[in-house]
């Protein structure tokens, strides 16, 4: 009797392990297709980093849903392309490698195209421009770059803002650059005095300063505007479809409505 019981238990365990193994071999798109309510529509998985309000973020007072300008734009664009959208939160520095490895279908996260990134992914046409700001404590006297002499500057890892911070360190003596994975970590480091300043995009900086009364933002002169675009795998035919859909949304005024909704200090 005991042997029969052990045999049955082993069989159940074997079936359970087999089920786990089959699920783990699915791609990101496969997993999200299982949650698709419209079985006749294919799903595109968009990777993002939900710490970059108002482009993409989570408002925990309302829900755990990722919201923002990029999300609204991606939903409208993919709908025009004939797809449903699934949004996946990731670390910012994982996004380009994930696109490159086809773990996600594309990425939108306030990404600025540059030569290095364009070597491994294809970018769409730009859909928005931003400018880099410097966030410091309110009592920090910043009027020109030389005021940062000997200071520690922070930026999000693998971001264009990291490039800006490194460019500043090359111009001003004694400036050191540190990176963090998430923007809230950078904000906290400034508040605690472990970083003297951080580089962040304009509307994003304005929103974080609005929420942190002990901080301020300042414009960084001599830095070019940063264009925003979506990243797709190399050779993706979806880039052309994406650009066409964005143009239609621009021409119809829908993107202006999204900007009016999201690009304001709350």
Percent of the chain scored above 70 by pLDDT? 84
Three-state SS at 95:
helix
CA–CA dist 129, 160 (Å, integer): 13
The answer to whether domain 28-129+227-262 and domain 132-224 are alike in fold is: yes
Q: And the tokens for 40?
A: 């006749």
Rg (CA), the chain: 22
CB neighbours of 256 closer than 8 A, spacing ≥ 6? Answer: 250
Distance of CA 173 to the CA centre of its chain: 31
Name which CATH class applies to 132-224: alpha beta
Tell me if residue 179 falls in helix, strand or coil: strand
Give the residue, 41 or 189, on which the prediction is more confident. 189
122: alpha, beta or left, given left = phi > 0 and alpha = psi -120 to 50? Answer: beta
DSSP state of 141: -
pLDDT digits (tens, 9 = 90+) for 213-266: 999 999 998 777 789 999 999 999 999 999 999 999 999 999 999 999 998 765
CATH, range 28-129+227-262: 3.40.190.10
Q: Both tokens of residue 219?
A: 């414009």
Residue pLDDT, tens place only, 158-189: 998 999 999 999 999 999 999 999 999 999 99
Average pLDDT over residues 26-49: 62
What b-and-e string marks burial along 204-237, b requiring 16 or more CB atoms within 10 Å of the CB?
Answer: bbbbbbeebeebbbbebeebeebbbbbbbbeebe
Q: Where are the domains of the chain?
A: 28-129+227-262, 132-224
* pLDDT classification of 41: cutoffs 50, 70, 90: confident
């Amino acid at each position: 009797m005991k042997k029969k019981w052990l045999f049955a238990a082993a069989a159940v365990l074997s079936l359970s392990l087999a089920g786990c193994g089959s699920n783990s071999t699915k791609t990101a798109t496969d997993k999200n297709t299982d949650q698709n309510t419209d079985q006749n529509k294919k799903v595109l998985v968009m990777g993002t980093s939900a710490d970059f309000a108002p482009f993409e973020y989570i408002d925990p007072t309302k829900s755990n849903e990722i919201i923002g300008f990029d999300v609204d734009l991606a939903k409208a664009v993919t709908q025009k392309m004939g797809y449903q959208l699934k949004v996946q939160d990731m670390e910012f520095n994982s996004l380009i490698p994930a696109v490159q490895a086809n773990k996600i279908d594309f990425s939108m996260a306030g990404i600025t195209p540059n030569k290095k990134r364009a070597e491994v992914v294809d970018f769409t046409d730009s859909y928005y421009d931003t400018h880099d700001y410097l966030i410091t404590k309110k009592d920090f006297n910043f009027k020109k770059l030389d005021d940062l002499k000997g200071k520690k500057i922070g930026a999000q890892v693998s971001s264009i803002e990291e490039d800006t911070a490194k460019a500043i360190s090359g111009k001003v003596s004694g400036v050191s650059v540190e990176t963090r994975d998430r923007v809230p970590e950078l904000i906290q480091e400034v508040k605690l005095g472990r970083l003297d300043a951080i580089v962040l995009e304009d509307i994003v900086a304005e929103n974080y300063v609005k929420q942190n009364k002990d901080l301020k933002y300042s414009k960084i002169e001599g830095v070019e505007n940063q264009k925003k675009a979506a990243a797709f795998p190399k050779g993706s035919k979806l880039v052309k479809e994406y650009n066409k859909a964005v143009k239609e949304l621009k021409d119809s005024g829908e993107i202006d409505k999204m900007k009016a909704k999201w690009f304001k200090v709350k």
